[in-house]
Copies of this chain bind each other. A is one copy, B any other.
Amino acid sequence: MLKAVIIGSGNVAQHLIKAFLNSKKIELVQVYTRNSEAVTHLLASNKITNSLNSISEADIYIIAVSDDAIADISLKLPFTDRLVVHTSGSVALEQLDTKNRRGVFYPLQTFSKNKEVDFSKIPLCLESEQSNDYKILEETAKAISPLLYTIDSRQRQSLHVAAVFVNNFTNHMYTIGNQICNKNAIPFDILRPLIQETAAKIELLTPLEAQTGPAKRKDEKTIEKHLKFLKDDNQKAIYTLLTQSIQKTDV
């Protein structure tokens, strides 16, 4: 059974810790964090360390810390020639210090503290410098999800940008929907089924097939009515730009 150490105690680290603890195919030997209280509810205190010098031996070290801290922590690791990977969508493999064998283990999902996730539905994007290490990465990943993808650093960067559109920006569309409801004394609940169906459609159709609405059907009368209705300049600007963008999109 492969042995793993997780470095970090934030959102991604905590979700990974839970997934590994639930898996019978991998042994989580230790978690390193400077903030041990963040993980004491998840595992026994003898498996938590805040000292780099007492870090355990393992087949794979998974750095799940904020992007800015990845290079620094990889530099401080007191060992060499072991497999060290990070979990970031936007940091290149090369940011990891060369004294260890390097790789990336990027779970493409949105993690919130207050919402459990099912790792078996999370695509894991894997990259390694050495082909032997890819097997370790793959075995580690398989322990928690069947959705494995070989993704190089350039592709991972593009995925991270795509994820900003389909997650962050989509969620902001929900926020604007919520703002419009609030302003007109309508419960936001009324929009929730539409939000669910909009996503559900994408399981069956391509986004181009699923596109509907005034922009798509070039219904200028309705577009004009909506722009007149919107009093907020920011919402107006977004409506205008996205309407143009839909109309420019090739089918």
Number of interface residues of A (CB under 8 A): 96
| Given A108-B194, A164-B239, CB of A174 within 8 Å of CB of B245 | no
For A208, the closest partner residue in chain B by CB is B175
Contact A205 B112 (CB under 8 A): yes
Contact B184 A158 (CB under 8 A): yes
Q: Taking the nearest CB of chain B, how far is it from the CB of A174, in angstroms?
A: 4
**The stretch of A22-30, A37-45, A134-142, A226-234 that contacts the partner chain:** A226-234
For A172, the closest partner residue in chain B by CB is B246
Contact B190 A108 (CB under 8 A): yes
Contact A213 B154 (CB under 8 A): no
Which of B184, B200, B245 meets A234, CB within 8 Å? Answer: B245
Not counting A68-B221, A172-B246, A178-B207, a sample of 9 additional A-B residue pairs whose C-beta atoms are within 8 angstroms of each other reads A110-B212, A117-B197, A123-B193, A163-B177, A165-B173, A169-B242, A196-B199, A198-B199, A199-B199
Q: List 11 A-B contacts (CB under 8 A).
A: A112-B205, A121-B196, A158-B183, A158-B229, A161-B229, A166-B191, A168-B211, A168-B242, A170-B174, A174-B202, A195-B202
